[in-house]
Amino acid sequence: MRSMFGFLSDPLRRAAAVVCVIALAACATTTPDADRRPRSVIVDGIDIAMMAHVLNTGFTEIKERALNEPDMGGLFMRSLEGLSTIDPEVGVGVKDSELQLTYGNVPLSPVALPTHGDIESWVKTTLTAVLTLRQISMPMKTANAEALYKAIFPPALKALDPYSRYAGRDEALRSRLIRDGIIGLGIRVVAAKDGVSVQSIVKNGPAENAGLKLDDLITHVDGVALVNRPIEEVRQFLEGKADTVVQVTIRRPQTRDTFSVAIRRDLVIPDTVAANTVDGVLEIRIRSFNQRTAQSVEKAVLNARDTGPIKGIVLDLRSDPGGLLDQAVDLADLFLDSGTIIALRGRHPGAQQFYGAHGGDIAEGIPITVVIDGRAASASEIVAVALQDNQRAAVVGTVSLGKGSVQTVIRLPNQGEIILTWSRAYTPRGALLHGLGVLPDVCLSGESATLSDTVGRIFRGDGLPTALMNGWRSPPAEAQGLEELRAACPPEAHPERALDLEVARRLVQDPALYVQARQGGARQLAEKPQ
């Protein structure tokens, strides 16, 4: 090895010398509190104790919660292979029941393979490989801990299913803001020459209410200059406890004015709901599901009813990627007096869940249409099928995405997240939603038709064969059969197409048309592709 890498001391010997340190670091992290930071053990510029804590926490959660019982040895091998995303010269394989690490096709000393389910041993083996490669590979040596997590976790999660993934600290913070809100000012900032620049502002958030504008330059926070400070440190200055005040110094590029403003920190949750009443029809556009989505929809309905009678409600879920499950359940429950909303089944006991309506339709029977398209997914599909199967709404558009898997969010000690699939959703009629999606009552796939053409088709009862519709009620398990069903009303992206909304409005304004669209055979109508 010295002849191949003579410019370095023997990397394997040095890595072997820290195995005991790694073992101690790993053992020091076996605590039920995943957020408790272990005592630092810095080796080659990396906090090995913290990394062991993060990997142990993440892979233990994967083992316990994944939808299907995972092959942990296989997942760790995928993770080791992921190191090649940092340096393509890295190779990983198995030879004679030993782990064989290579660099530039040159084999390094083999390492005994841990048993498949021994997470702690696999973590120590992973860290040994990382430390070995940091002595040989410059890309590995300069990679920080977050870069290593982004190489290690994604290949393992990708091997489970398409929706399980890893989010690093910054991405996870943004996702938490969208889902749960965050205590702060309601702004997103990026590094600038003399501080940080405001790139986005949450509507009605503390910063907007204090008068901040896009492109404002924040130069100081509580008197501390922000020039040349890491963006992570700046965010820590801006965030803090609720109801505390922060003094922010602003330089406005347009006027070159400099001024200070006191802003009170608060829980900031972006508004994902927009409502508007047109000709007596309340149109509610939902772009994603966060902690306030159901509350915002309820407020929109009650406000509209207070201002005068409304003929109907249109829930526009087109291209809505979903979000929080409980918000989808709460939103559907707003309009249901009884019935099943959704049922979840998974391997972990916590994944076995059933949701039924509690009673009390805030719309008091007002006609509802739900508009979906091929990008409507997850939580939006749960709302659509719950209202459809309970005969509370007519659904208009195209077949939805068919993402009926449910993910649990696991926060890691580095403040990153694992988004892990742990259950499947079953519709009120008992069909597995995943891979199937929601079939609209009025299908608008294919070439755009006119409103009058579509209305005529509804009244004539032109639609798909009964046998095909029965297939939707009792779908086959195999993927090919599901695709054949979905081809009856192909999923398409219609995020802004006017016809879809026109049909939805017409349905709630015409009682006879609405009844026809919601009848058992009405879930057949389609604008067939030419």
Query: Distances from the Cα of 208 to the Cαs of 203, 215, 231, 330, 332, in angstroms?
Result: 7, 13, 21, 29, 32
Element (H or E) spanning 146, and its range? helix 145-158
CB 426 within 8 A of CB 470: no
Does 182 score more than 80 pLDDT?
A: no
Per-residue pLDDT of 147-180, as tens digits, reads 999 999 999 999 999 999 999 988 888 787 777 7
- CA 11, 38, 101: angle at the middle one, nearest 5? 25
Tokens of 429: 């009629």
Q: Which residues contact 77 (CB under 8 A, 6 or more apart)?
A: 92, 94
C-alpha span between 319 and 153 (Å, rounded) = 28
C-alpha span between 58 and 61 (Å, rounded) = 5
C-alpha span between 331 and 393 (Å, rounded) = 13
* DSSP per position, 117-136: T-HHHHHHHHHHHHHHHHTT
C-alpha span between 113 and 105 (Å, rounded) = 20
Active site residue 389: yes
- The interaxial angle of helices 231-238 and 169-179, nearest 10 deg, is 30
- Of residues 319, 403, 441, 500, which has the active-site annotation? 403
Mean pLDDT of the chain: 87
Per-residue pLDDT of 84-97, as tens digits, reads 999 999 999 998 88
What pLDDT score does 527 carry? 35
C-alpha span between 425 and 102 (Å, rounded) = 43
Query: Distances from the Cα of 226 to the Cαs of 194, 230, 244, in angstroms?
Result: 7, 9, 20
Q: Select 182-268's CATH number: 2.30.42.10, 2.60.60.20, 3.30.70.1110, 1.10.1370.30.
A: 2.30.42.10
- Classify 328 as helix, strand or coil: helix
Confidence of residue 34 (pLDDT cuts 50, 70, 90): low
Average pLDDT over residues 313-338: 96
CA dihedral 393, 396, 402, 408 (to 10 degrees): -50
Does 523 score more than 60 pLDDT?
A: no
- CA 362, 367, 369: angle at the middle one, nearest 5? 105
What pLDDT score does 175 carry? 82
The Cβ of residue 320 has, within 10 Å, a number of other Cβ atoms equal to 30
What pLDDT score does 2 carry? 32
Q: Which residues contact 228 (CB under 8 A, 6 or more apart)?
A: none
Biggest CA–CA distance in the chain, Å, is: 86
C-alpha span between 144 and 149 (Å, rounded) = 9
* Dihedral of alpha carbons 200, 201, 203, 208, sign: negative
What are the boundaries of each domain within the chain? 11-160, 182-268, 273-526
273-526, which class in CATH?
alpha beta
* Dihedral of alpha carbons 445, 446, 449, 452, sign: negative
| Nearest alpha carbon to residue 317 among 250, 383, 231 | 383
Q: Which of 218-227, 316-325, 465-474 has the lowest mean pLDDT?
A: 465-474
Give all strands (DSSP E) within 116-254, no chain letters: 165-167, 182-184, 187-192, 195-201, 217-221, 224-225, 245-252
What pLDDT score does 36 carry? 67
Give me the percent of the chain exceeding a pLDDT of 70: 88
| Nearest alpha carbon to residue 379 among 332, 441, 313, 337 | 332
Q: Which residues pair with 369 in a beta bridge?
A: 314, 394
| Nearest alpha carbon to residue 98 among 107, 85, 86, 87 | 107
C-alpha span between 375 and 523 (Å, rounded) = 20
Q: Which residues pair with 421 in a beta bridge?
A: 407
Per-residue pLDDT of 398-420, as tens digits, reads 999 999 999 999 999 999 999 99
- Of residues 47, 266, 333, 389, which has the active-site annotation? 389
- Of residues 378, 380, 405, 445, which has the active-site annotation? 378
Confidence of residue 383 (pLDDT cuts 50, 70, 90): very high
What pLDDT score does 467 carry? 65
The Cβ of residue 313 has, within 10 Å, a number of other Cβ atoms equal to 26
Active site residue 197: no
Tokens of 129: 């490989």
Which residue's entry shows tokens 């040159």? 106
Per-residue pLDDT of 471-516, as tens digits, reads 777 777 666 778 888 888 899 999 999 999 999 999 999 999 999 8
Q: Which residues pair with 432 in a beta bridge?
A: 426
Per-residue pLDDT of 14-24, as tens digits, reads 554 554 555 55
- CA 168, 169, 172: angle at the middle one, nearest 5? 80
Average pLDDT over residues 249-278: 90
CB 432 within 8 A of CB 387: no
Per-residue pLDDT of 264-310, as tens digits, reads 998 888 889 999 999 999 999 999 999 889 999 999 999 999 998 99
HSE-up of residue 512 (Cα within 13 Å, Cβ side): 5
Active site residue 403: yes
Q: In Å, how far from its chain's centre is CA 457? A: 38
CB 495 within 8 A of CB 375: yes
| Nearest alpha carbon to residue 419 among 402, 406, 438 | 406
